[in-house]
Structures are given as C-alpha cells and as structure tokens.
C-alpha cells in the first residue's frame, strides 16, 4: 500500500494532466482536423491513480466539456492538496509526539 502523501500526489498529477489536455483542446479548437486529447485514468493497485493521454475518435471542439473538465481538475487538485498537507501535518505531529 502506498503512503497517503504519494496517493494524494498521484491525484494532483492526474488533475494536472486533465488541465493540460483541456488547455490543449481549447488552444486548438479552431485548428482544422484537430482531434481532442482525452485523459484516461485508472486506479493503481496500492492506491492512487495513473493517467494516459489518448486522442478522441471524432474531430471538433467541445468547449463546454473542456471548461467543465478544467473546473473538475482544479477542484480535484485542491482536494488532493488538502489531503497532502494534512498527511504532512499528521506526520509532523507524530514525530513531535515520539520525540
């Protein structure tokens, strides 16, 4: 099993991948023949998540989807950051208690 901080870090990395893909999609919305980037997430056995970039089967922009994806990624990043900070505080408190 992975540590709580490494699980939260993988969540932050996944959120960053979603932000990168949606930003790329918005930047290329008017590019002829552009196929959208999508991010596939999968759970890791010991905890956390892994990501992989794929190309959409269809062409064209869906700006609404990308804006919603950015908001979801932002919230996921902030939630995982809060878990990471809390894990760090708990580890510090535990070390202070044992010392």
Which pLDDT score, from 0 to 100, does residue 95 have?
Answer: 60
Pair of tokens at residue 13: 């990395």
**Dmax (CA) of the chain:** 63
pLDDT at 1 over 60: no
* Residues belonging to the chain: 99
User: Would you place residue 5 in the very low, low, confident or very high pLDDT band (cuts 50, 70, 90)?
Assistant: confident
Tell me what pLDDT residue 93 has: 65
Q: Where are the domains of the chain?
A: 4-98
The answer on pLDDT for 15 being more than 80 is yes
Q: Decide if pLDDT at 99 tops 90.
A: no
Among residues 31, 33, 49, the alpha carbon closest in space to that of 41 is found at 49
Q: How far apart are the first and last CA of the chain?
A: 26
Mean pLDDT of 66-94: 88
């Amino acid at each position: 099993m992975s540590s709580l901080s490494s699980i939260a870090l993988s969540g932050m990395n996944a959120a960053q991948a979603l932000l990168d893909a949606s930003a790329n999609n918005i930047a290329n919305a008017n590019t002829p023949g552009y196929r959208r980037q999508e991010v596939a997430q999968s759970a890791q056995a010991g905890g956390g998540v892994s990501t992989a970039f794929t190309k959409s089967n269809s062409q064209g922009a869906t700006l609404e989807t990308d804006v919603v994806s950015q908001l979801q990624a932002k919230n996921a990043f902030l939630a995982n950051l809060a878990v990471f900070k809390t894990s760090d505080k708990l580890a510090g408190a535990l070390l202070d208690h044992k010392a």
